């Protein structure tokens, strides 16, 4: 629901929040865990405003806030946001409103809060919360079809895809925040013309443009979350690069699915944009009439009316030999075949219990056009068609020293543009 915090005319006394190109106007107010770079300070919660961070631990001591908003600030003062996420939707909304009111142009709280600001240029980040568990979904029908055509030209989509929100259980321990450097994974691969597999560094390393969905307050074991209530349990979203070793994956994934090809590294952006901040950028969920319609437990009027999120997603590459960023693709989260609410509901329909900080990956987000592909596997048609970068280098898959950068933003008439910042990570050579 839209409320006063979304009003496009709102401006902030933090003047950098009022520029048209900022990701973090007062209408956004995303959360992260940060500290000043190069210090031994404790990490604590922060909210982005323009090019600054409002230190929530300092704000909790400012004397400006009261009641539920003050309790929420105190829950944000530790190194992980899980206690705040556990408080639920009322507390999240109460703190958002209080922050909006006190950061607005003309707010009397400016004097007290000015000293609570830290420049983003002076900050470093950690994961915003303890990611207690991680599930990766497969929600882009365009990605699933494109990849399926590479391996099953006559039958690209398996029969269950349009009935079930497909997902698998991933590895939370190897997820890190933007800036992550990781070594190229090693494992077993099998060349098409080989009689036996071989062991060595992955040769077909790939990125995946995804959205990450953070669970807020969870559910009790055995108590499913209905689709009508699903988004009450979603704290917010981030950008997510779920790295993949395609050649390792091709050899190992049958019959049980992804394993070593997917658990060596995944990278999230530092900032969690709350579901409430995304309210102006909702879109209708529509299913082609020729496709199976979602089962009753995956259907609601609210989900049909505005279950999708219109989030533009850009992917870029910066190679070791050049400081230039090369654009690879642009897609949008609104193309997802399944909504956030459907993912949460399906995940819990068997009684599975979610916890605060659990992360759901959306799966690679590709659009209907080839140039909207969210992975190199698709862009290069399985490595058969190299792409040429602006500096003359070519790529079929990610090479050592490459940095993959993803950015996302929401924009529409009648609303302030808001962004997610960026997620960037760099591939190092395999360990010898």
Provide DSSP, 111-161.
HHHGGGEEEGGGEEEE-SS----EEEE---HHHHHHHHHHH-TT--S-TTT
Give 56-107 pLDDT, tens digit per residue: 999 999 999 999 999 999 999 999 999 999 999 999 999 999 999 999 999 9
pLDDT at 153: 86
Angle CA 216–142–425, to nearest 5: 55
Is residue 143 annotated as a catalytic residue, yes or no?
yes
CB-facing half-sphere around the CA of 326: CA atoms within 13 A: 18
Angle CA 411–422–234, to nearest 5: 70
Give 270-310 pLDDT, tens digit per residue: 999 999 999 999 999 999 999 999 999 999 999 999 999 99
Give 3-34 pLDDT, tens digit per residue: 999 999 999 999 999 999 999 999 999 999 99
DSSP 387: E
Q: Which residue has the tokens 């279950």?
A: 307
Distance CA 342, CA 165 (A): 8
Q: For domain 134-428, give the CATH number.
A: 3.90.850.10
Superfamily of domain 4-126: Fumarylacetoacetase, N-terminal domain (2.30.30.230)
pTM of the predicted model as reported, rounded to 2 decimal places: 0.97
Provide DSSP, 246-260.
HHHHHHH-TTT--ST
pLDDT at 323: 87
Say which of 143, 233, 346, 347 is annotated catalytic: 143
pLDDT at position 322 over 90 = no
Distance CA 396, CA 404 (A): 14
Pull the structure tokens for residue 126: 């950690």
Give 360-406 pLDDT, tens digit per residue: 999 999 999 999 999 999 999 999 999 999 889 999 999 999 999 99
pLDDT at position 432 over 80 = no
Give 370-382 pLDDT, tens digit per residue: 999 999 999 999 9
Domain limits, the chain: 4-126, 134-428
C-beta separation of 258 from 363 below 8 A: no
Q: Which residue has the higher pLDDT, 254 or 55?
A: 55
């Amino acid at each position: 629901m839209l409320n006063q915090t979304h009003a496009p005319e709102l401006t902030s006394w933090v003047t950098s929040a009022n520029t048209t190109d900022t990701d973090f106007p007062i209408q956004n107010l995303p959360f992260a865990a940060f500290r000043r770079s190069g210090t031994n300070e404790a990490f604590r919660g922060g909210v982005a405003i323009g090019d600054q961070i409002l230190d929530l631990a300092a704000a909790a001591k400012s004397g400006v806030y009261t009641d539920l908003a003050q309790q929420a600030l105190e829950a944000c003062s530790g190194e992980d946001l899980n206690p705040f996420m556990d408080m639920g939707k009322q507390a999240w909304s109460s703190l958002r409103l209080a922050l909006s009111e006190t950061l607005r142009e003309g707010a009397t709280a400016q004097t007290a809060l000015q000293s609570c600001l830290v420049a983003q240029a002076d900050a470093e980040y950690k994961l915003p919360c303890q990611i207690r568990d991680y599930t990766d979904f497969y929600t882009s029908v365009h990605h699933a079809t494109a990849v399926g055509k590479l391996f099953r030209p006559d039958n690209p989509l398996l029969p269950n895809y349009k009935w079930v929100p497909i997902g698998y259980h991933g590895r939370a321990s190897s997820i890190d925040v933007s800036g992550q450097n990781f070594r190229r994974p090693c494992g077993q691969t099998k060349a098409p013309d080989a009689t036996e597999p071989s062991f060595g560094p992955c040769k077909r390393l790939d990125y995946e443009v995804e959205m990450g969905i953070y669970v807020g307050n969870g559910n009790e074991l055995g108590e499913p979350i209905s689709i009508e209530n699903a988004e009450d349990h979603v704290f917010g979203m981030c950008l997510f690069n779920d790295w993949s070793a395609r050649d390792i994956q091709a050899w190992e994934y049958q019959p049980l699915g992804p394993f070593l090809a997917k658990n060596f590294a995944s990278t999230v952006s530092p900032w969690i944009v709350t579901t409430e901040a995304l309210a102006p950028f909702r879109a209708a969920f529509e299913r082609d009439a020729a496709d199976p319609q979602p089962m009753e437990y995956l259907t609601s009027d609210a989900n049909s009316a505005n279950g999708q999120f219109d989030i533009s997603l850009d992917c870029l590459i910066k190679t070791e030999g050049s400081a230039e960023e090369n654009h690879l693709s642009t897609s949008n989260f609104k193309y997802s075949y399944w909504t956030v609410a459907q993912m949460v509901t399906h995940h819990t329909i068997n009684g599975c219990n979610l916890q605060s900080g659990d992360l759901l990956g959306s799966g690679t987000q590709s659009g209907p056009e080839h140039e909207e592909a969210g992975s190199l596997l698709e862009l290069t048609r399985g490595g058969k068609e190299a792409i040429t970068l602006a500096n003359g280098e070519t790529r079929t898959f990610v090479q050592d020293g490459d940095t993959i950068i993803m950015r996302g933003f929401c924009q529409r008439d009648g609303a302030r543009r808001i962004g997610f910042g960026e997620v960037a990570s760099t591939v190092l050579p395999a360990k010898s």
